[in-house]
Amino acid sequence: MIGVQIVDDPSPAGDGMPVMDVPVFIGFAARGPRDRPVAVDSTTAFEAVFGGLLDLVQAGRGEDPGERLTAHLYPAVASFFAAGGRRCHVIRVTGPAARSAHFAVPGLRRLQYSGATASLDANDVVLRAASPGTWADRYALSARVRSQALHVGDALARGDLLRARRPLHPEAPAWRRVAADAVLTPDWAGTGWLFEDLSSAAVDLSTWLVERVQLDLALRSPGQGVLRLDACGLSAGAPQLPWQALDAEARYDAGLLLADWPLAGTVDALEGDWALLPTGVGSDFEVWQPVTPDAGDPLERNGLAQYDASLFLDPAWSPGLHGRQLMRWADDVRFLGDRPRRLRGLHGALGRDDACAEEASWIVVPDAVHPGWRPTPEAQARQVTVTTTPDPACTCPPKTFDDCAPPPPVPPRPPRLGFVPDALAPALLPAGKAFTLNLWRDPADEGAPQRLEVQLAGQPDFSDARVLADALAPAALLLPGLPAGAWWLRARAHRQGLTGAWSESVELDVRATGWRALAGTSADVVAQVHQALLSLGAASREHFVLLSLPLDWRERDVAGHVGALRAEAARVDAAQAGSAASFAALHHPWLLQRDADDRLRAHPASGALMGLLARRSRLHGAWGASGAEALATALAATGELQPGPVLEALGVNPLVLRADALGTGISAVRSQTLSLDPDWSAIGVRRLFILLHRLCRREGERFVFEPNDMTLRRGLERSFDALLHRLMQRGAFRGIDASSSYLLKTAAGADAAREIERGECSLLIQVAPSRPLRFLTLHLRRSGEQLEIEER
């Protein structure tokens, strides 16, 4: 018996508190919209929008030559959901040089109308991938014609494309587009029909076959099913026009689905009156067209050739922006400037008009700790050889004169596949580099000339095979480079009408070999990104930042980095009161975990740790620490620094292997911020105040337009007393009753009169968090129509 069991992990119902378990992850993804915070609720949802593992460069640190660096974003999000996270926002960042793949639709030509004249483009229509990157390089596109016979009296809709053919000459159709809703009548016979050479034609509806023509599109790639988009219109005004589909950024901005069809519109925009003529498209998915070759390096096309801090920062941001000045700059960019736009990079966590600004209270940038990379000398393109195999020599002597007659033809033997030069790995090819396919004839082959057929496939069973070459040997064919990944080759020979068996298949390991990771991680990128994150959290007062350190750093590197972050926090504090260092925490070392491709790799711990913190925030409150629970997906801790007192002394939270009564696993045994102030050193305290800050903003906005009198003040006290009482009952405060846990105070008497005269209203909130031993203060004040919240 097979059943389904649904296990829910509910949050406390009806507590009236803001959402505090949603992070925003920022980093490198294979595809998807850029600089847009997209909400996802599972690893599957992430893959549907952003793809899977993103391969970057060769490791270059003495590991196995096959070892590769991958982006940390996807493993971090997968670990987050595996550890108990329910929802997050993801921002994909790239450089400006990222480019999209292109796909030609063989036999589909554009007919452009201009008044009474029309012109037919000699080139095939070209579609582009909906988002930049190399993710679409292994796709192949096919098309087929879908037709419906029409008769006099049938209804026609605007945008219909009609094809008329004579029974005796079906190879020379006439075409016509429908400009407005109509009915097919005999009057349609005389005008408006065009042949492919643009000559006009008169159509006899009684003898010509008239059809409404649409197009079906199909995409396939190795390891995935076929994607279909049926009944596509072929003229302006028709429904279902993938030729004008929006790209991923525009789809997100329009609130449309991101993962329904992975291609956008044509490379050359279709404007005015146009029609697409499927003059060379068959009635079945016969021809599969691979991606149009792009000479660009894969890393360049992913927008990641230049690894620096600009990948993660808004281009208009400057390091001198702190506190309210930073928030005013963000408002100018988003709403008030001459050309409002979305904030980019990690500053996109501030949101614009999406749920990210309301939900996300954590920020994680796992890809800020890569070592960087540099180009290597050009890899030489390999030569693939396919050589005929001679027939075995005849060993039977003739017995009679008649036996001297030539033997009957036999099928040729399977050819041999090889590579030049042989000194290199026999199946390694550089990605994107053109290579030569040599069809050779063995010198011992004395039979009739053989025609060699070579097939290429992305699946080992050749279910998606396409013919790479079919020619007489000898011949040398220059072929475009292949996208990175695993490919399979096989060949067979044809001779005198007979076909031989297939050769043994050969697996090709196609790699992007033009880049190599640097030997050591530079502090520049890490320092700039972490300082920008610290400044953002302290300015918004509603985001806590989980930071990771590079894998190869030692004590001196960590000490310098922590010192620089605290110095940045001091500069932020000079611009805005409050302990800026308490908005960030460092965790180390990295975790060894199993990725989606079943390989073991080391990644920063922020993903798994974030999942645990999100779950505990949901169940125990935002002020709760990570506890002694083991981190999901963590198989081992790895890094140059060993967890222990040294890391703690440097201000880092160590992740250690524990084996005790509470279980076995890698746990975070310390939950401290970067602040040296004992009142703000606990992550739970800062998270509690982020919660209170959000409560003040939410509740305060309800009273902004209320009459400024004593009734307003009493309403504020009642509202916040009820909310703080709930927090006290859940254990957020140190005290055992309201008087020892929190204090609410509004102005009264002459102070209230002076506030009313100035157009202000203030509420003083003092709370005793569970961690500190004295009261900490929030001050909520309304000045005119502005709401201000300060920590004291």
Quote the tokens at residue 557: 């590197």
3-state secondary structure of 295: coil
The pLDDT, as a whole number, for residue 89 is 96
**Residue-wise over 157-167: b if at least 16 C-beta within 10 A, else e?**
ebbbbbbbbbe
**Residue-wise over 233-249: b if at least 16 C-beta within 10 A, else e?**
bbbbbbeebbbebebbb
Measure the CA–CA gap between 284 and 216, rounded to whole angstroms. Answer: 9
Average pLDDT of the residues in 31-58: 92
Q: Are 657 and 612 in contact (CB under 8 A)?
A: no
Range 184-192, long-range pairs (CB < 8 A, 24+ positions): 184/150, 184/151, 184/152, 184/153, 184/154, 184/155, 184/156, 184/210, 185/152, 185/153, 186/152
The pLDDT, as a whole number, for residue 773 is 45
Q: How many CB atoms lie within 10 A of CB 65?
A: 13
Q: What predicted TM-score, i.e. pTM, was given to this entire model?
A: 0.88
- What is the chain's percent helix, strand, coil content, to nearest 5? 25, 30, 45
Domains in the chain (CATH in brackets) are 23-94+306-373+519-621 (3.40.50), 102-295 (no CATH), 383-392+409-513 (2.60.40.10), 690-791 (no CATH)
Average pLDDT of the residues in 156-181: 89
User: For strand 653-660 and strand 584-588, is the pairing parallel, antiparallel, or unpaired?
Assistant: parallel
622 Cβ contact list (under 8 Å, min separation 6): 17, 20, 21, 361, 684, 687, 688, 690, 691
Which of 36-40, 158-162, 626-630 is least confident?
626-630
Q: pLDDT of 594-612, one tens digit each? A: 998 888 899 999 999 999 9
Measure the CA–CA gap between 579 and 573, rounded to whole angstroms. Answer: 6
Measure the CA–CA gap between 748 and 755, rounded to whole angstroms. Answer: 9
For residue 480, cis peptide bond before it (omega within 30 degrees of 0): no
The pLDDT, as a whole number, for residue 257 is 80
The pLDDT, as a whole number, for residue 5 is 47
Percent of the chain residues past pLDDT 90, beyond the cut: 41
DSSP state of 432: T
- Among 154, 172, 156, which residue's Cα sits nearest to residue 164? 172
Place of tokens 């050769």: 503
Average pLDDT of the residues in 512-529: 85
Measure the CA–CA gap between 244 and 240, rounded to whole angstroms. Answer: 9
86 Cβ contact list (under 8 Å, min separation 6): 21, 41, 614, 618
Most confident among 434-448, 487-501, 632-646 (mean pLDDT): 487-501
**Residue-wise over 77-98: b if at least 16 C-beta within 10 A, else e?**
bbbbbbbbbbbbbbbbbbbeeb
| Range list of β-strands (E), 178-237 | 182-183, 193-194, 200-201, 209-220, 227-232
Give how far Cα 230 sits from Cα of 139, 351, 533, Å.
18, 36, 46
Measure the CA–CA gap between 505 and 417, rounded to whole angstroms. Answer: 9
Q: Are 364 and 76 in contact (CB under 8 A)?
A: yes
Residue 456 has pLDDT above 80, yes or no: yes
Residue 125 has pLDDT above 60, yes or no: yes
- Among 302, 280, 301, 276, which residue's Cα sits nearest to residue 289? 280
End-to-end C-alpha distance for the chain, whole angstroms: 62
Q: pLDDT of 264-278, one tens digit each? A: 999 888 888 899 999
Write a three-state SS string for 90-120: EEECCCCCCCCCEEEEEEEEEEEEECCEEEE
- Residue type (1 letter), 754: R
Quote the tokens at residue 251: 């789809």
Residue 6 has pLDDT above 80, yes or no: no
3-state secondary structure of 567: helix
**Rg, the chain, Cα only:** 34
Q: pLDDT of 50-85, one tens digit each? A: 999 998 887 754 444 457 889 999 999 999 999 999
Q: pLDDT of 640-680, one tens digit each? A: 787 777 788 888 998 888 765 455 788 888 889 999 988 89
Average pLDDT of the residues in 561-584: 86
Average pLDDT of the residues in 375-379: 73
By CB atoms closer than 10 A (0-12, 13-18, 19+), residue 127 is buried
